[in-house]
Chain A
Amino acid sequence: MTGAAYRRTLAGITLAAVLLALPAPPSAADVPLPDVPRGRGEQCVEPSDVMRRDHMEFLEHQRDRTVHDGIRTKRHSLIECIACHATRGEDGGYVAVNAPGQFCAGCHAYTGVKIDCFECHVAVPAGESARNGERARGTAVPVVAVGWADAVQRRLPAAARR
């Protein structure tokens, strides 16, 4: 068999396998979807279907821009994600977004994708401690960051430096 014919056959077999493997398109009612808490506000920073597919890209690019170039825009910042998507528990305290059933963990458990953001990043909004619900790892330690919370809230254009 020539190389070209071999490649054609291989392509044919692959296509057939893919077609066979595709299930019949399910109706919406058949598919159990993760039930995650809604974020604050009407609309996320991008349309929801874009966010579902590409949030990791936004976060990764923002992460590189922030760490290497000092660009600290808020639109795709992880801190801002958490600020909108963390929910409050029964006692009024924030629940970590990586706690079971919460915004990040809810979907990631459903899709079977492990995230390691929260091995280093804190999973509750700035200036708050996770008082309700367990963190994915370790014990919750109160986070006191009043200065930063203020800075995030009132991010005024920095005054001209002398």
Chain B
Amino acid sequence: MGEGATREKNGRRAFLGRAGVGIGASLVALAPGVRLIDLVIAKPEAEPVSGAVRWGMLVDTTRCAEGCTACVDACNDEHGLESLGRPETDAQWIRKADVHDPATGRTFSLPLLCQHCESAPCVDVCPTGASFRRDDGIVLVDKHICIGCRYCMMACPFKARSFIHETLSGQKPYSPRGKGTVESCTFCVHRVDDDRSPACVEACEADAGGALSFGDLNDPDSDVVTRLRAVASREIRPDLGLDTGVRYAGV
């Protein structure tokens, strides 16, 4: 890109910033999904999240080492998930699964987390509306209205959610958690809103094989889309037609 183009782009960004245009501003829409100019600008603090963005993740299992738990540890640290000594009921937002194909003997390892489905079963079944999908595709529990019925845990095909059975203390300020509510991976929504990657992605990049990439599935230049273009990937349980936000390569 020439210097002139760079300057023009910066000028446009600065102008849009002043004009208060939010994320994924499309200046000219030629037809649905076809835009002449498509800019992605960090969301201003006071703007609501927009459906122009869909956060997603690619897990490249060929780079995910068996026995490595960098992502799980980072998640536990980030959100203050501590074992209460009862593994059956300890909260678990991301876990490692070792897969073995008896027909071929091939084994590989992959992290499982909330798949942030477009058509999320947990959202469908929630009787109070506590389980919801944010406009930018992140599936969350509003613990203020969660009554702890655990229908969502039954509905989730990925066993992604945990129920908190015991009184907690020492939670992280940005990750409130409490007894009687269901919780699951939030894609580190507090970090995403601050223009950072989830803790697991950062940890995998820094300390492990870099198996995780995260970004906006609607942005052709994002990390995740660049890698999705390059490698074959699939949803787990594509038969359910959930259109998950997390895709796996090498499975």
**A residues lining the B interface (CB < 8 Å):** 63-65, 67-73, 79, 82, 119-122, 125-126, 129, 135, 137-143, 145, 148, 151, 155, 157-162
Partner of A63, one of B13, B144, B174: B144
Would you list 25 pairs from A and B whose C-beta atoms are within 8 A, ordered by A residue? Answer: A67-B140, A67-B144, A68-B132, A68-B142, A69-B49, A70-B189, A120-B143, A120-B171, A120-B176, A121-B176, A122-B173, A125-B173, A138-B170, A139-B169, A140-B169, A143-B171, A145-B172, A148-B172, A148-B173, A151-B194, A155-B194, A158-B43, A158-B195, A160-B41, A161-B41
Q: Please name the residue on chain B nearest to A66 by beta carbon.
A: B193
What is the minimal beta-carbon distance from A158 to any residue of chain B, in angstroms?
4
Give the B interface residue count (CB, 8 A).
41
Establish whether residues B45 and A73, one from each chain, have CB atoms under 8 Å apart when the complex forms. Answer: yes
Is residue B47 contacting chain A, with contact meaning CB distance below 8 A? yes
| Segment at the A interface, from B115-123, B177-185, B238-246 | B177-185
A-B interface, 7 closest residue pairs, ranked by CB to CB distance from nearest: A141-B170, A120-B178, A138-B169, A69-B48, A158-B195, A158-B42, A120-B176
Contact between chains at B13 and A160 (CB < 8 Å): yes
Bound: A142/B169 CA distance, A: 9
B65 in contact (CB, < 8 A) = no
Q: Does B221 contact A (CB under 8 A)?
A: yes
Across-interface contacts of B195 in A (CB, < 8 A): 158-159, 161
Tell me whether B136 is interfacial, beta carbon within 8 Å: yes
The CA-CA distance from A160 to B40 in the complex, in Å, is: 8
CB-defined contacts of B80 to chain A, threshold 8 Å = 143
| Secondary structure of the B contact surface, majority rule | loop
Nearest chain A residue, comparing its CB with the CB of B130: A67
- Please determine whether B42 and A122 come into contact, CB atoms closer than 8 angstroms: no
Apart from A70-B48, A120-B143, A155-B194, 19 more pairs, CB < 8 Å: A67-B140, A67-B144, A69-B48, A69-B135, A70-B43, A70-B193, A71-B48, A72-B45, A82-B173, A120-B171, A121-B176, A126-B173, A138-B168, A141-B82, A157-B42, A157-B44, A158-B194, A160-B13, A160-B41
Q: Is the CB of B177 within 8 A of A71?
A: no
Per the bound structure, the CA–CA distance linking A73 and B45 in Å amounts to 6
Chain A positions within 8 Å of B172 at CB level: 122, 143, 145, 148
Within the complex, which residue of B40, B140, B143, B170 is in contact with A129, where a contact is CB–CB below 8 Å? Answer: B170
A72–B44 Cα distance when bound, in Å, is 9
Report the separation of the CA atoms of residues A148 and B175 in the bound assembly, to the nearest whole angstrom.
11
Q: How far is the CA of A16 from the CA of B143 in the complex (A)?
A: 44
Q: Are A121 and B171 in contact (CB under 8 A)?
A: yes
Partner of B173, one of A145, A158, A159: A145
> A151 — which chain B residues lie within 8 A by C-beta?
194
Q: Which A residues are CB-close (under 8 A) to B135?
A: 69
Separation of A161 and B167 alpha carbons in the complex (Å): 39
* Closest Cβ neighbor of A70 among chain B residues: B49
B129 and chain A: residue at smallest CB distance: A68
Residues of chain A contacted by B194 (CB below 8 angstroms): 72, 151, 155, 158
Nearest residue, chain B, Cβ from A79: B173
Asked whether any CB of chain A lies closer than 8 Å to the CB of B230, the reply is no
User: How far in angstroms is the closest Cβ of chain B from A30?
Assistant: 38
A121 and B177 CA atoms in complex are apart in Å by 7
Residue of B47, B168, B172, B221 with most chain A CB atoms under a 10 A cut-off: B172
Instruction: Report if B103 contacts A (CB, 8 A).
Output: no
